[in-house]
Structure 1
Amino acid sequence: MAKDTLKVSGVTYTTADTGYFEKRSLKRSAGIWGLWGLAVGAVISGNFSGWNFGIEAAGFGGMLIAFAILVVMYYGLVFSIGEMAAAMPHTGGAYSFGRAAMGPWGGFVTGLAESIEYVATNAVIVYFSAGYANGVTEGLMGFSLPTWVWWIILYTIFVALNTAGTSISLKFAVTVSFVSIGVILLFGVMALVSGAASWGNLFDIVPDPGQTAFLPHGVLPILFALPFAMWLFLGIEELPLAAEESHNPVRDIPRAGLWARGTLIFTGLVVLFLNTAVLGAEKTGGAGEPLLDGFRTILGDDLAWVAGLLALFALFGLLASLQGIMFAYGRNLYSLSRAGYYPKFLSLTGKRQTPWVALIAGALIGLTALIVVEVTGGEDGVGGAVVLNIAVWGAVLAYFMQMLSFIILRKKYPKASRPYKSPWGMFGAYAAAVISALIFLGFLLNESFRPAIVAIVIVYVIGLIIFGVYTRHRLILSPEEEYAVSGGLHGDPQTEGYGGQVEEELLAMDGVDGPELK
């Protein structure tokens, strides 16, 4: 018997096979602390590595200004996505928001940007984790391993952890988040008590002719520092991806986002000021592992084994983010696959109700990217910076598209149910969108960011061709698609379940209900 189909908004939906959604089920395991741990854990590695390249680009003063700008951006962003996540409690997150606001093409562009962001971010964390892991083994055991060996070890361990069950991975996220915060606080106390921190070190970069110690390279490089300052916050926006695994997504996702944001502003200020004050701005800007170098500076060469022990604790921060971002890319790939934008086998979940196929696929893509960058000239930390730029570029595009979605949805569905409303309203969305555009401009103006842009353009060209020619004719009415097609009448899996009668009703609609069918 032929399958039922529905053609709308330039795409074709086909009835899912029997048992399709049962093979793609998720388990509700996340309370507010689990969500907080997921958000903080996803970001906390940015306090250990990556952020410091912004000081090299713009000096301490430029980085401080970039940090302040991003505090505004992330308040607007997290408030806005909190509102959309409460209204659309689907695993799709950014893709779901873009789909409802801008149709299938807008949803795909937004979802692909987030795929790039999270897969590349995870690769960056693996890259820096390998450096810290070697710091541990060298300091405590006197040996090191090739970085590519660490990459394989780290991906293998964390794919296994994430496939073991959502409850297990969330408990791990909370634990390592607390440990990571403790390491940052310990560093701050040691820096102040030891006297190793000197405020004069913040301005030890020799200014360019005509510039000042505060902005040694002038004003324009602040734009170049923004992508690296993002590393102190990037990942907190993943919370909506846990909607179908949260006990109460309407209440807990906005609240966890607020708590996590405050936590990360505090830890970001600690490392920005004290890590730089210990190492000096010039050395900090080029450090591959700035926090570990800071510990070494405080303790001295005679206590190298202690630095190795502290590197073990510092490694927890990177592992927290490795766990959190892997969770994010797994759910992002899962949701786009479940709806048919990506190959449908990627959304299979298995007995433990975790997207194990998507997790493996993301790991293989990330590992391949790291190897390619390394082979083509990624020595001396350049490889990490290139992949970091790819991650940030994907994030900036995803942010802009989500804020555009917020603005459109406020106007398109003014009477839609919004259990939580952004306290910053339209201002927050506009502010985050403008700052995202500024970061994008910084990418275009900085020649060193060009390889990242070229890589992403290639991915988009290939992805859009495949979507336009093939996958848009083979979509499935997943919860994200049901919400968009019905104009918000369907699509809450917590109350309606997946597919089944809801899907049949939408396939039978004749244009009376739902704006997309008119």
Structure 2
Amino acid sequence: MTSPALQRRLGLGDAVFIGLGSMVGAGVFAVWGPATQAAGGWLLLGLAIAALVAYCNATASGQLAAAHPTSGGTYAYGRAELGEWWGFVAGWCFIIGKLASCAAMALIFAAYAAPPGWERPVGILAVAALVGVNLLGVTRTAQLTRVIVVVALVGLALVVAGGISIAGSAHPAGLAMGSPYGVLQSAGLLFFAFAGYARIATMGEEVKDPRRTIPRAIVLAFVCAVVIYTVVGAVVLTTLGAATATSAAPLADVVDAAGWTWALPIVRISAAAASLGALLALIAGIGRTSLAMAREGDLPRFLSAVHPRSHVPHRAELATGIIVIAAVALVDLRGVIGFSSFGVLLYYLVANLAAFRQGGEVRRYPRVLQVAGAIGCLVLAFSLPWQSAVAGVAVVLVGIVVRAARLHFTRAA
């Protein structure tokens, strides 16, 4: 029996909010400390580099999505433009990188929402609950994402207002300027925050008029996220200075420095909501990429089922939830951010190469953007902490070896 198809239910606003829900997530509340440790006073330069590379990747994704309006994102684009192996590498990198992102989001949510000692159980419950929301259907996902993004933006507005209120009186300790390598490493870590526009592209079979809607939604969501991150980053640096590098909750510290203790619970709620929004969209994106890979046999075909009533890839999303729950129980937060960035940067390397191959009527952006994006992805990926790069290369090689073995035994049979 033929599996039911996904349905086109999402408009431009839904797609933009899903992208924003992924980008304005836990990263904006948690990434400033590790990035400042690497770049020091050059943090905003690292942010600019991350944004530039992300913009190149966003234009590549938008151009590809307009030509290939199907689920799977760069997995599908890589197969169509470059060949099956390129598509597999992109899909595998996306899944491993975003599974790590899911674990990071759940842990950051729990850090803000759970009492001491209960972080991991609360993180596990959050993953289970959001998998349940995704299983209800993509319109439920989009509706909840809108609410979460609004709550997160309220908290960020309070942080910015608090920082501005003491702009003339705050005299934080100055930051030393980081090395060029430190700036690149910070850009790689900050890239973790910008990769959410991929969620829009992976949902190509559920967006109305995808050839027009997806490219517009990607650019709109990305521009909004860049503005938000730039303003918040500048406020954090000018308010906390050197303390940014050692702060576990820099945005809460900004509000505290302003003397706005009444706002601390609101900021904590906003951070928790932003983490949930990113986690919700990530689960949806992983499910769609897993669906596309399962259809082609690159993941078990069991995962290619679409539920007849909710029209979501329910088996793929349940499998995602199980793996993320296991990761939340075991992983360290700081390590998974670098690992996630490495996997996703390789994913966008393939996207840029695939978009570079396109020509004719489907071309929307100059090829120089894809060249810059591909070079940027490679440079940032291997500027990350060496542990993240080594672990990422190892896991990618495992996927390649397993696929090669499967193909060998399939042909032999």
1:400 equivalenced with 2:332 (yes/no): no
| Aligned residue in 1 for 2:188 | 227
Further displaced range: 183-192 or 150-159: 183-192
Q: Distance in 1 between matches of 2:70 and 2:190?
A: 29
- Asked if the contact 1:31–1:252 (Cα under 8 Å) also holds between the matched residues in 2, the reply is yes
Q: CA deviation at 1:111?
A: 0.8
Taking a change above 3 Å as real, the CA distance of residues 320 and 472 of structure 1, as seen in their structure-2 partners, is farther
Correspondence for 2:121: 149
CA contact (8 A) 1:292 1:314 kept: no
More helix by share: 2
8 Å contact from structure 1 (residues 43, 321) kept in 2: yes
Q: 1:362 aligns with which of 320, 324, 331?
A: 320
5+ long unaligned stretches in structure 2: none
Q: Report what 2:291 is aligned to.
A: 334
The code of the aligned residue for 2:135 comes to T
Structure 1 position 306, deviation (Å): 4.5
Deviations 1:300-328 (A, max 9, x none): 6xx4x642243113321111111111211
The Cα offsets for residues 358-382 of structure 1, whole Å up to 9 and x where unpaired, read as: 1221222223234333xxxxxxxxx
Q: 1:51 to 1:26 in 2, by over 3 A?
A: farther
Contact 2:162 2:254 (8 Å CA) reproduced:
no
CA distance in 2, matches of 1:29, 1:72: 31
Tell me the number of residue pairs that the alignment of Structure 1 and Structure 2 aligns: 409
Structure 1 counterpart of 2:35:
54
Which string of whole-angstrom CA distances, capped at 9 and with x for unpartnered residues, describes residues 153-184 of structure 1?
11111101111111011011122112222221
The answer to whether 1:428 aligns with 2:369 is yes
TM-score, normalised by the number of residues in structure 1: 0.75
1:291 aligns with 2:248: no
Whole-angstrom distance in 2 between the partners of 1:41 and 1:245: 17
Q: Distance in 2 between matches of 1:126 and 1:160?
A: 15
The residue identity in structure 1 corresponding to 2:189 is: F
CA contact (8 A) 1:44 1:317 kept: yes
1:482 is matched with none
Cα gap change, 1:256 to 1:104, in 2 (>3 Å): same
Residue 513 of structure 1 is matched in structure 2 by none
SS of alignment partner, residue 235 of structure 1: helix
Counterpart position of 2:217: 256
Match of 1:371 among 329, 333, 349: 329
Query: In the alignment, which residue of structure 2 is the partner of 1:453?
Result: 389
- CA–CA separation in structure 2 for the residues paired with 1:343 and 1:273: 46
Q: Say whether residues 1:64 and 2:44 are aligned partners.
A: yes
2:198 alignment partner in structure 1: 237
- Report % sequence identity: 23
1:440–1:56 Cα change, 3 Å:
same
Q: Distance in 1 between matches of 2:145 and 2:319?
A: 21
2:73 aligned to which of 69, 89, 93: 93
Pick closer, same or farther for the CA change 1:166–1:28 going to 2, 3 Å.
Answer: same
TM-align CA RMSD = 2.1
- Partner residue, 1:315: 272
CA deviation after TM superposition for structure 1 residue 50, in Å:
1.9
Q: Is the 8 A contact 2:165 2:258 kept in 1?
A: no
User: Cα distance, 1:232 vs. partner?
Assistant: 3.2
Aligned counterparts of 1:342 and 1:111: Cα–Cα separation in 2:
10
CA separation in 2, counterparts of 1:319 and 1:130? 10
SS of the counterpart of 1:228? helix
The Cα offsets for residues 261-293 of structure 1, whole Å up to 9 and x where unpaired, read as: 11111110121111222222x321222222223
Question: Which residue number corresponds to residue 496 of structure 1?
Answer: none
Provide the residue aligned with 1:139 in structure 2. Answer: none
TM-score normalised per structure 2: 0.93
CA spacing shift, 1:69–1:219, aligned 2, 3 Å:
same
Bigger radius of gyration:
1
Q: 1:3 aligns to what?
A: none
Partner of 2:236: 275
Q: Note the C-alpha offset of 1:81.
A: 1.3
CA distance in 2, matches of 1:81, 1:157: 30
Does residue 335 of structure 2 align to residue 386 of structure 1? yes
Deviations 1:157-214 (A, max 9, x none): 110111111101101112211222222122211221245873x53x623x4xxxxxxx
Q: What does the per-residue CA deviation read over 1:326-353, in whole Å, with 9 as the maximum and x for residues that have no partner? A: 2111111111112211011112221211
Q: Using a 3 Å threshold, how does the CA distance of structure 1 residues 471 and 161 change in structure 2: closer, same or farther?
A: farther
Q: How does 1:120-159 map to 2 (within 5 A)?
A: 120-134=100-114, 143-159=115-131
1:102 maps to which residue?
Answer: 82
Map 1:481-500 onto structure 2 (within 5 A).
none
In the alignment, the residues of structure 2 paired with residue 107 and residue 434 of structure 1 have an alpha-carbon distance, to the nearest angstrom, of 19
Cα 1:197/1:464, change in 2 over 3 Å: farther
Q: State the alpha-carbon separation in 2 of the partners of residues 95 and 197 from structure 1.
A: 51
1:179 to 1:472, Cα distance in 2 relative to 1, 3 A: farther
Amino acid at match of 2:381: F
Q: Once the two structures are superposed, what CA deviation does each residue of 1:88-127 show, in whole Å capped at 9, x if it has no partner? A: 1110111011112221111111110111121111111111
Q: Which amino acid aligns with 1:57?
A: A
Matches of 1:101 and 1:269 in 2, distance apart?
35
Alignment partners' CA distance in 1, 2:164 and 2:32: 21
Contact 2:159–2:252, Cα closer than 8 Å, also in 1: no
* Distance (Å, rounded) in 2 between the aligned partners of 1:341 and 1:197: 58
The 1:267–1:473 alpha-carbon spacing in structure 2 relative to 1, beyond 3 Å, is farther
Paired residues of 1:36 and 1:174 also in contact (CA < 8 A): no
SS of 2:82's equivalent in the other structure is helix
Secondary structure of the equivalent of 2:91? helix
Distance 1:157 1:426 in 2: 42
* Runs of 4 or more consecutive aligned structure 1 residues displaced over 4 Å after TM superposition: 194-197, 471-475
